[in-house]
């Protein structure tokens, strides 16, 4: 916690010695001794404000509490601030203002308020804040400030509170752009709208209808059993997928102008494949400190999806990326041979 003062210039700490010296001199000057008493009042007020500031620094303690460290883009989470000995702040304040940071990647609001500057008559001991992640990536919150107005319009004291809190914003996986996902999941002759890991050319049986699409209804089995049946397809070895994310521009210079959209598409496609029971490996043309391409080995389940989202959330335009002409043959050489390649790139 850092405290700064903004007071009348005669109350500033740096001129206390000057005030004292002038006050002593004026005591012995005829007809001007009255001014020494005026300066004495200013000096006393300055010393009191200095002492009050030291009390706040030593006795007011700040406790932050964070409930989540991960959130998805455009989602919100809460964190709290607790002030001990808050009565010390209230006893000298006529009005109190709280300023919350509002940066591009995130917005912080005091619960129940949408404005960034909130006026309060009295400070509570507990605050609940809401953080909204507007952009994928790591988040470190800037300072939250509490400003108290001193009596008699003497000035203000401002407490700068820097939360030691960190969040990671994952790309959204709840997009309504279903057509964008399907366009990436056209796997050869198997254009997959529902489950990309079932070969619709190989029906092995039928089962009672639940909520499958109408094109999967098995009319022959329905007529035979007198109850609505759907086709049951043969899972094949195409349940392994290599997701290939190339963030380079189509001309090979710089990064693609839809940098964020490509990353979000990768998250959506990965979620769709994993939810359908597929095994996924991911290649990204970003280079690490050792010059290696980012690669997540083939796995399945929620753990793999979390690994993919964590990797995607760490991508930055300031990173180094391998060119498309080198990246494509590298992936073809390294990837699982039986895995279906899903390319997410400028083309």
Tell me how far apart the alpha carbons of residues 124 and 255 are, in angstroms, rounded to a whole number: 48
Q: What tokens appear for 108 in the block? A: 């912080």
Pair 44, 94 in one domain: no
Pair 79, 158 in one domain: yes
Given a cut of 60, whether residue 189 has pLDDT beyond it is no
Which of 22, 42, 59 delimits the end of a domain? 59
DSSP helix/strand/coil, 259: helix
234: enclosing H helix or E strand: strand 229-235
Given a cut of 90, whether residue 295 has pLDDT beyond it is yes
In order, the DSSP letters of 87-105 are HHHHTT-S-EEEE--B-SS
User: Please, what is the average pLDDT of the chain?
Assistant: 85
8: enclosing H helix or E strand: none
pTM comes to 0.73
Pair 152, 139 in one domain: yes
Say if 81 falls within a structural domain.
yes
Pair 124, 193 in one domain: no
Pair 317, 261 in one domain: yes
Tell me how far apart the alpha carbons of residues 292 and 330 are, in angstroms, rounded to a whole number: 11
Pair 257, 194 in one domain: yes
Pair 51, 66 in one domain: no
Q: pLDDT tens digit string along 113-156? A: 989 899 998 899 999 999 999 999 999 988 999 999 988 888 89
Q: What tokens appear for 15 in the block? A: 């001129």
pLDDT bracket for residue 91 (50, 70, 90)? confident
Mean pLDDT to the nearest integer, 9-21? 85
Pair 52, 66 in one domain: no
Domain count, the chain: 3
Pair 123, 259 in one domain: no
Tell me how far apart the alpha carbons of residues 18 and 22 are, in angstroms, rounded to a whole number: 6
Tell me how far apart the alpha carbons of residues 326 and 284 are, in angstroms, rounded to a whole number: 12
For CA atoms 312, 270, 185, 332, the dihedral sign is positive
Q: Are the C-beta atoms of 167 and 139 separated by less than 8 Å?
A: yes
Given a cut of 80, whether residue 323 has pLDDT beyond it is yes
205: enclosing H helix or E strand: strand 198-208
Could you give the percent of the chain with pLDDT greater than 90?
Answer: 35
Pair 53, 72 in one domain: no
Residue 198: per-residue pLDDT: 54
Residue 168: per-residue pLDDT: 94
Pair 216, 338 in one domain: yes
Torsion of CA 116, 122, 124, 129, to 10 degrees: -10
Angle at 135 between CA 129 and CA 136, to 5 degrees: 110
Say if 270 falls within a structural domain.
yes
Residue 93: per-residue pLDDT: 85
Q: pLDDT tens digit string along 242-284? A: 998 999 887 666 788 888 889 998 999 999 888 888 899 999 9
**38 phi-psi bin (left φ>0, alpha ψ -120 to 50, beta other):** alpha
Pair 165, 205 in one domain: no
Q: pLDDT tens digit string along 194-208? A: 444 555 556 677 889
Closest CA to 316 of 271, 268, 249, 263: 263
CATH number, domain of 99, equals 2.60.40
Domain that holds residue 10: 6-59
Say if 1 falls within a structural domain.
no
Strands 166-170 and 70-72: parallel
Other Cβ atoms closer than 10 A to 151: 8
Mean pLDDT to the nearest integer, 317-338? 88
Given a cut of 60, whether residue 192 has pLDDT beyond it is no
Other Cβ atoms closer than 10 A to 273: 29
Residue 314: what are its φ and ψ, rounded to 5°?
Answer: -90, -10
Q: What tokens appear for 323 in the block? A: 């060119």
Say if 279 falls within a structural domain.
yes
Which of 113, 136, 170 delimits the end of a domain? 170
Which of 127, 147, 170 delimits the end of a domain? 170
């Amino acid at each position: 916690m850092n405290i700064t003062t903004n007071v009348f210039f005669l109350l500033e700490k740096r001129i206390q010695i000057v005030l004292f010296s002038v006050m002593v001199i004026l005591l012995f000057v005829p007809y001007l001794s009255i001014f020494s008493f005026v300066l004495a009042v200013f000096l006393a007020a300055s010393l009191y404000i200095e002492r009050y500031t030291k009390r706040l620094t030593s006795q007011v303690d700040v406790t932050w509490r964070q409930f989540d460290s991960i959130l998805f883009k455009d989602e919100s989470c809460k964190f709290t601030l607790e002030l001990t000995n808050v009565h010390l702040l209230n006893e000298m304040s006529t009005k109190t203002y709280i300023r919350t940071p509002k940066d591009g990647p995130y917005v912080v609001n005091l619960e129940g308020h949408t404005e960034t500057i909130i006026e309060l008559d009295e400070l509570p001991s507990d605050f609940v804040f809401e953080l909204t992640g507007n952009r994928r990536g790591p988040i470190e919150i800037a300072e939250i400030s509490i400003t108290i107005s001193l009596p008699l319009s003497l000035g203000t004291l401002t407490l700068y509170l820097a939360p030691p809190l960190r969040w990671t914003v994952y790309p959204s996986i709840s997009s309504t752009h279903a057509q964008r996902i399907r366009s990436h999941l056209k796997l050869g002759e198997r254009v997959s709208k529902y489950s990309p890991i079932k070969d619709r050319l190989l029906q092995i049986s039928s089962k009672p209808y639940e909520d499958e699409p109408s094109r999967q209804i098995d009319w022959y089995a329905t007529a035979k059993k007198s109850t609505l049946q759907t086709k049951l397809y043969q899972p094949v070895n195409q349940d392994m997928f290599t997701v290939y994310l190339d963030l380079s521009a189509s001309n090979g210079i710089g990064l693609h102008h839809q940098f964020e959209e490509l990353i979000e598409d990768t998250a959506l496609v990965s979620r769709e494949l994993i939810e359908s029971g597929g095994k996924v490996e991911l290649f990204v043309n970003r280079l690490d400190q050792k010059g290696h391409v980012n690669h997540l080995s083939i796995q399945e389940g929620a753990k793999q999806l979390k690994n993919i989202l964590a990797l995607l959330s760490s991508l930055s335009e300031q990173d180094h990326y391998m060119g498309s002409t080198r990246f494509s043959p590298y992936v073809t050489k390294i990837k699982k041979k039986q895995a279906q390649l899903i390319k997410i790139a400028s083309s």
